Structure 1
Amino acid sequence: MRIALVQLNPVVGDLKGNASKIIEFIKSARSLNCDLVVFPELSLIGYPPQGLLKLKDFTRDCQAALRQVVEHTDGIGVLLGTALQDDKKGLYSAALLIENRQVVGYTAKRKLKVLGAFDEACYFEPFCGTDSLAFREYKLAVTVGDDVWGDAEYRGVDLIINISASPYCYGQFKWHNDILVRVAKKIGAPLVYVNQVGGNDDLVFAGTSRVFDEKGQCMVQAQPFVEEMVVFDLGGVHCPLPCLQEDISWLYKALVLGVRDYFSKNGFKKAVLGLSGGVDSALVACIMADALGRENVLGVYMPSRYSSEHSRQDAQTLAENLGIQYRVIPIEDIFKEYLKVFNGSPSPVGDVAEENVQARIRGNLLMFIANREGRVLVSTSNRSETSVGYTTIYGDMCGGLAPIADIPKTVVYDVCSYVNRDQEVIPHNTLIKPPSAELRPNQKDQDSLPPYDVLDAVLSMYIDEGLSADEIVARGYDRLVVCNILNMVQRSEYKRRQAPLAIRVFSPIEKAGRNPVVHGYRWE
């Protein structure tokens, strides 16, 4: 049996567009004499569809799009992920087996996710039927999403097929690959894994669709972060392939793909961001240039009385290295007017209100440019800052997208090193100078925060591993520092609720939680 694996990049809710793309892949698979073509989980409607599934018009139109696809299945089998309405039992996240213009069988997802974007249980019913489907002379065990990780015994199957929409999370590829290898070995049958690719909202899907033989050896694999179709001959002769090796380049590619799809799928073309001469804005500028093309990116440097000469030079050099548009708009005169109104003179008092108003002046200027020139403002905040509230609401938090808001500060430097792997794009001085918001004389981030290596380590243990304060302290961290960090995280929830969408490629999404804005729990 000749099988085509299609790691599709769908647009959520674009039923006609997705159907048209699926039909073209079916035609391509048929032209290559494939017997079966496999698409990812919910590929017809895009993942995650969320509240669209509550719309009667949407679920009706899903059936019309499905009928459109079914009409193009002459002489070839199609395994398609979509929403299936059972009049008695509700809506399923289903895998439909289609051949010769008929749905000849289906199975559906059993383990529905419930956290964050994974709110599947709000819309779908868990499936209780069989996972086995017959296709010609073959017995298939078909699973949807994480169902493949279960303990079901698939006896006498010729092939396991798992269709998935599994979002990318940096550092988890090997762990996930090992699970698939174990399943193939346990069942003693080849395993086909087909995953969605592309960005939808804050999620990015890596694809990395692949086929394992009954010994768990990888026989075919698709590229990460690329929409493509690969073909596998079941029963043919294949040389085992080395497993893909995830590295920091994957993280950068995920960010670029997430930004590119966010813009293209929304019909946006141009972006604007504030360039400060610092490492965060430098990395975001690189991502935007790669995602949109340098001609569509504008960087704006907005100096105040506290801005250093090296920051001006670093911002300008970065813009020149990238070839993006660059402007300088001083904020000193506007800042003086604020001081006159609130201080009675242009002399500063030196409090946090004066620091924050500079960020808000810059945010307003950038929003004006965005509105006038038809651009999307992107925020340059990182995970370390947003986690503890070291950001200015309505200031540097302004924007429609925050590309690196899920990337810790220490990892930002790692990604910048990747950007500079062949030549110096980000100025060396940007990477070695102490981080500073430059909102008061000689300000440094560590005046207000613990060193970033300490901050990021504690945040990782708390956010990613779910450790308690006692467990973190037991790993050698000062209790006062730990408690201070965790309390800052809790106190800044109101800011995160109002922050722009972040490309989530670092924090484990399944561990994402939401805290109350108003509560009295504190660590001591």
Structure 2
Amino acid sequence: MAAAQIDTCVGDLAGNASAVLEWTRRAAQTGAQLVVFPEMTLTGYPIEDLALRASFRRAAQETLEQLARDLDADGLGDVAVLVGSVGERASRRRRPGADDAAEAPRESGTEPLPDSELVGDVVAGRPEARDAVRPTNDAVLLRGGRVETRYSKHHLPNYGVFDEFRIFAPGDEICVIDVADRRIGVVICEDIWQDGGPVSLMDEREVAALVVLNGSPFEEGKGHVRAELAARRAAEVDAPVVYVNLVGGQDDLVFDGGSFVVDRDGSLLASAPQLVEHLLVWDLADEGEPAQRGPVAPPLHPDEETYRAVVAGLRAYVRKNGFRTVTLGLSGGIDSALTAVIAADAIGGENVVGVSMPSAFSSDHSKDDAADLAQRIGADYRVQPIAGMVEAFQRELALEGVAEENLQARVRGMILMAISNREGHLVIAPGNKSELATGYATIYDAGSIGGYAPLKDVDKSRVWALARWRNDHAIDRGEIPPIPESSITKPPSAELRPGQLDQDSLPPYALLDEVLDAYVEHAEGRAELLARGFDPAVVDRVLQLVDRAEWKRRQYPPGPKVTALAFGRDRRLPITSRWREP
């Protein structure tokens, strides 16, 4: 069998079908009799409310049927192809927490309702509404030129970045397919994360292997969790588990691939590399024979893993949204330096437009570092002084203090947007998670404006670590480090007034990030933070900054999720709130 971890794009039905055809052809050339693609391959993932459109579901079904015919016409009709797609079924919407047995979905041959009716029953979310056609998250077996079998995902995640319970109807049937006289169990992603359900019944079916179609987003440290979980399920069904995962970026999510096979004793039999498309071919041993072993990809260093995930997220966002180039402000500081290098690695340095926008307070070393960086990565480097523009505003407004500082920052944002409008570049924001958490950024400035923010889920301490890793990686390859050393070592500053440093307004970043991790990612309250020994003044200051900055975070561009809890889908708090930690 072959695990095809491929990169798909939401809504690109024809393009995704073409990729399935091409990768099945490659798999067949290796002798594979079963090819397994990731979750929602044909539609892309996650499709969110596109699933609620009957027109989209009809198009997906038509594409699926045509794909089956194309596979057959290409001489691949004998190959069993498992592909993820959207389906539909008649089902009464269940209330969260309702008893599955009491409110189990039922099969129906009802024709799809018009979109207008579907809106009333599904989108508005009336749990008491009459039965309506609802979408399902399906694994579909294509063979012999037709759609042979469908399986609908049972467990619909409703936490973190997932919102599937609101969108999909759950399945209630077990799926076992026959390939080359072997019985293969089929489930989808969350079905193995929940105890019980379809996996618990597979041992009764005596399957030779369990295949799992996945759209599991990347986050730091998640790889070993997947492997340990799959090992438990392999022991449960007394058969190897083949875990096939999506790869590539989709908006603020990155899928890292890393498909693998684990034996019933938990040992790793084969694995694919992370963050690249790959065909992992593995032979299922005959009954009674020792398990076959296949290629095993070496694991990535944690910093390399995160760095490559951020690169993959930016690359996907640029390409899938029709851009070729990006632009950003180059200040000479660490955030813009790392962001520029990430962009160069994602789409090529020649496609990066770096703009230095010095003010009266910009240091010579900052301007020199920005120029040096641009030369190292081969970027299109430009200098646009802002003093004249700031003076023009000041003649009309006569601002002072913070308002004057923010004017400088916003003029820079305006310049970048003007260049973007004139030349068609995507503006990318170099702000990091620590700044976003505390609101330590001028809204609409060069650090927060634009269409995508590669470092949105990377705290300041990790920014330095990733910069160090990237430079070390270059040295190991005999290349010039892309980031000037002084950009890494100098104290961070917005340079909006003489002698300004970040630490004038914030605790040291090492301490700040530790408090932020506890408060934001682990939801610890003030009492818990004080019990851990943090200084009360630091705790109160950080919590105040975080709680007051929600309105800024809502207006920040999307960026790739790399931690367990990213701002955006993961953390949904009201902007208007008088709650403060006691």
TM-score range, shorter chain: over 0.9
Structure 1: distance between partners of 2:239 and 2:323: 45
Specify the code of the residue in structure 1 equivalent to 2:241. Answer: L
Structure 2: distance between partners of 1:53 and 1:92: 8
> Any conservation in 1 of the 2:271–2:297 contact (CA below 8 Å)?
no
2:136 maps to what in 1? 92
Q: What SS class does the counterpart of residue 25 from structure 2 fall into?
A: helix
5 Å-filtered alignment, 1:42-441, equals 42-71=40-69, 72-73=71-72, 74-87=77-90, 88=108, 90-115=134-159, 117-152=161-196, 153=200, 154-155=202-203, 156-235=206-285, 237-238=292-293, 241=296, 244-343=299-398, 349=400, 351-395=401-445, 396-421=447-472, 422=475, 423-441=480-498
Q: What SS class does the counterpart of residue 142 from structure 1 fall into?
A: strand
Q: What SS class does the counterpart of residue 141 from structure 2 fall into?
A: strand
Deviations 1:99-130 (A, max 9, x none): 21233323221221224641112220111222
Specify the code of the residue in structure 2 equivalent to 1:461. Answer: A
Return structure 1 stretches of 4+ with deviation > 4 angstroms. 239-243
Structure 2: distance between partners of 1:268 and 1:117: 26
In structure 2, the gaps of 5 or more residues are 91-107, 109-132, 286-290
Structure 2: distance between partners of 1:399 and 1:239: 44
Match of 1:41 among 39, 42, 58: 39
Deviations 1:168-211 (A, max 9, x none): 01222222222222222333211100000000111110000111
Specify the code of the residue in structure 2 equivalent to 1:413. Answer: W
> Any conservation in 1 of the 2:3–2:281 contact (CA below 8 Å)?
yes
Q: Percentage identity across aligned positions?
A: 39
Structure 2: distance between partners of 1:144 and 1:462: 33
Deviations 1:322-348 (A, max 9, x none): 1111111111111122222222xxxx7
2:550 maps to what in 1? 493
1:521 maps to what in 2? 579
Structure 2: distance between partners of 1:32 and 1:136: 16
> Any conservation in 1 of the 2:160–2:565 contact (CA below 8 Å)?
no
Q: What SS class does the counterpart of residue 199 from structure 1 fall into?
A: strand
Structure 2: distance between partners of 1:331 and 1:86: 59
Q: Which moved more, 1:79-88 or 1:429-438?
A: 79-88
Structure 2: distance between partners of 1:27 and 1:455: 52
> Any conservation in 1 of the 2:529–2:539 contact (CA below 8 Å)?
yes
Deviations 1:379-417 (A, max 9, x none): 110000011111111113110111101100000000000
Deviations 1:237-264 (A, max 9, x none): 4268487354211111111111111111
2:100 maps to what in 1? none
Q: How many residues align?
A: 517
2:537 maps to what in 1? 480
Q: What SS class does the counterpart of residue 381 from structure 2 fall into?
A: strand
Deviations 1:134-182 (A, max 9, x none): 4452222211112112333231221111110000012222222222222
Specify the code of the residue in structure 1 equivalent to 2:461. Answer: T
RMSD: 1.8
> Any conservation in 2 of the 1:490–1:515 contact (CA below 8 Å)?
no
Structure 2: distance between partners of 1:245 and 1:272: 29
Alpha-carbon spacing, 1:472–1:187, altered in 2? closer, same or farther (3 Å):
farther
Structure 2: distance between partners of 1:41 and 1:139: 20
> Any conservation in 1 of the 2:326–2:425 contact (CA below 8 Å)?
yes
Distance apart, 1:511 and its partner CA: 8.2
Structure 1: distance between partners of 2:426 and 2:314: 11
Structure 1: distance between partners of 2:535 and 2:414: 40
Specify the code of the residue in structure 2 equivalent to 1:469. Answer: R
Distance apart, 1:451 and its partner CA: 1.1
2:127 maps to what in 1? none
